[in-house]
């Protein structure tokens, strides 16, 4: 199923974010082998060169590593995955607060609304 990509940002960056999300949500677990570049590209509906760029960038971060003839694998460093999850959570919360502030709410009101929502 093709990814829902937009033209506002580089496609390879969106692919990186998608793969990171797949890792923190458990679609790919620590040590899992990733599908081939061609398979991932076909699934995402992108050019294999674009997918290769995204995977190379993920390798540079250490989140993914290559084994010569075996393919690419997700890191087995659970702390790295935990840190990624924390960073993604922080970004989501920051985006939420910024959006609510644009709607005219202050921090106290936002927290109050979140508490009300959680208690439904």
User: Looking at residues 93-106, what average pLDDT do you find?
Assistant: 97
Note the pLDDT tens digit of each residue in 40-73.
Answer: 999 999 999 999 999 999 999 999 999 988 999 9
Is pLDDT of 2 > 80?
Answer: no
Q: In this predicted model, what pLDDT tens digit does every residue of 31-47 receive, in sequence order? A: 999 999 999 999 999 99
Q: CATH assignment of 11-76?
A: 1.10.10.10
Q: In whole angstroms, give the CA distance from residue 70 to residue 75.
A: 14
pLDDT at 18 over 70: yes
Give the number of residues written for the chain: 120
The answer to whether 2 and 51 have CB atoms below 8 angstroms apart is no
The CA distance from 39 to 44, in Å, is: 9
Q: Answer whether residue 1 shows pLDDT above 70.
A: no
Contact 18, 11 (CB under 8 A): no
Spatial separation of the C-alpha atoms in residues 87 and 93, rounded to whole Å: 10
């Amino acid at each position: 199923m093709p990814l829902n990509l937009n033209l506002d940002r580089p496609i390879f960056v969106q692919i990186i974010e998608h793969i990171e999300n797949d890792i923190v949500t458990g679609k790919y677990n620590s040590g899992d082998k990733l599908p081939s570049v061609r398979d991932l590209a076909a699934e995402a509906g992108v050019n294999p060169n674009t997918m290769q760029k995204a995977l190379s960038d993920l390798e540079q971060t250490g989140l993914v590593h290559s084994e010569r003839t075996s393919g690419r694998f997700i890191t087995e460093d659970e702390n790295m995955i935990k840190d990624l999850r924390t960073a993604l959570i922080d970004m989501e919360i920051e985006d939420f607060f910024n959006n609510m502030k644009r709607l005219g709410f202050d921090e106290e009101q936002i927290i109050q609304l979140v508490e009300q929502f959680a208690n439904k």
